[in-house]
Amino acid sequence: MTVRPFRVALSASFRKPDGSMTYPSFDLSPLTDASGIETRFVSHGDPIRAAELEDIDALILLSERFTKDSIPASGILSVVARFGVGYDTVDVEACTQNDIAVCITPDGVRRPVAVSILTLMLALTGKLVIKHKLTRRGPDGFAARSEHMGLGLVGRTLGSVGIGNIGAEMFRLAAPLGMKFIAYDPFADLSLASELGVDLVDLDTVFAQSDVISINCPLTPDTHHLVNASRLSQMKPTAYLINTARGPIVNQADLTQALQNGSIAGAGLDVFEVEPPAADDPILKLDNVILTPHALCWTDQCFAGIGAADITSVLDIRAGRLPVGLLNQEVTERSEFFKKLARLSAKSY
């Protein structure tokens, strides 16, 4: 008897118009070289169309949205594996209600994003961009260098909104800098915070006491515009804000005003409320903000790690196992989900 192959679909955005891979460091060979697995790319469309997934067991999702209308009627789809840790483009509740696991890749992004945060912190406090511009002006620029003194970090306070996967790694990497660590996180692991030397405080204290604040929480209805004019007014005028999480966590109009009037020293943003920002967005014209296009952590190693983690989740599902990167733990309370796993584990590919 012929056994139906395990079918894996990938977002159209993983492939360039000429058919080559958008990110060559994403190694698909564990899927393409395995027996009993078929891979295909879905057609361009945002959100993903359900009709493209009717015979698909697993979807690896890049930039497209996966909504309740993306869920195929066949009931075959068992996992949506997000390429990264952000899941605001996925209707997680709809997936759970339809017995679909949602997976993310915390191991793949932990170090790269934490390195990005430190990159922005060191560039901001060292006035790197300003000094780069001064140097290019020649003698006149050198003559002005005393006007752009940086901020030393020993004894300064690094604050974080969130001390999960990335926030904790940020503190690990910052340990040799001699800073004080504080964080706000209602879901914090107390033993982890203690191990890292992080004092857990309320949100007001993070904004009032930090010399550098990093946003390291997911975008949810509760965190939308968590950073607004009121929060920014609590910051020291010498302090910096860094956001590598999700743009809408910060009210960008309020941040722009704070940067314009000098109520904070500066900001480092890898994410924006609208991506890409409009060409005439006023934040693009400010000298006290460093901006990167939601790509600062993008390296060959980062994308190789993310891709490997997604493939591991897909292969776990294929073997009838719970995947390591499972986000919606509630799906494990659903009997139909376990029936899917049982059917998959019983197959011999």
Catalytic residue positions, numbered: 246, 275, 294
Closest to 290 (Cα-Cα) out of 108, 111, 132: 132
How many whole angstroms separate alpha carbon 121 and alpha carbon 145? Answer: 20
CA 278 from chain centre, in angstroms, equals: 22
Per-residue burial over 63-82, b if 16 or more Cβ lie within 10 Å, else e, is ebebeeebbbeeebbbbbbb
Sheet holding 101-103, edge to edge: 37-41, 6-10, 58-61, 79-82, 101-103
Beta bridge pairs of residue 180: 157
How many whole angstroms separate alpha carbon 13 and alpha carbon 73? Answer: 24
List, in order, residues 6 or more apart from 258 with CB less than 8 Å away.
229, 232, 233, 235, 264
How many whole angstroms separate alpha carbon 6 and alpha carbon 326? Answer: 19
* CB neighbour class for 306 (10 Å; exposed up to 12, middle 13-18, buried from 19): buried
What single-letter DSSP state applies at residue 164?
S
Is the peptide bond prior to 47 cis by the omega test (within 30 degrees of 0)?
yes
Closest to 270 (Cα-Cα) out of 134, 157, 118: 118
What's the token pair of residue 244?
């590598």
Residue that the structure tokens 């492939």 belong to: 15
How many whole angstroms separate alpha carbon 293 and alpha carbon 187? Answer: 29
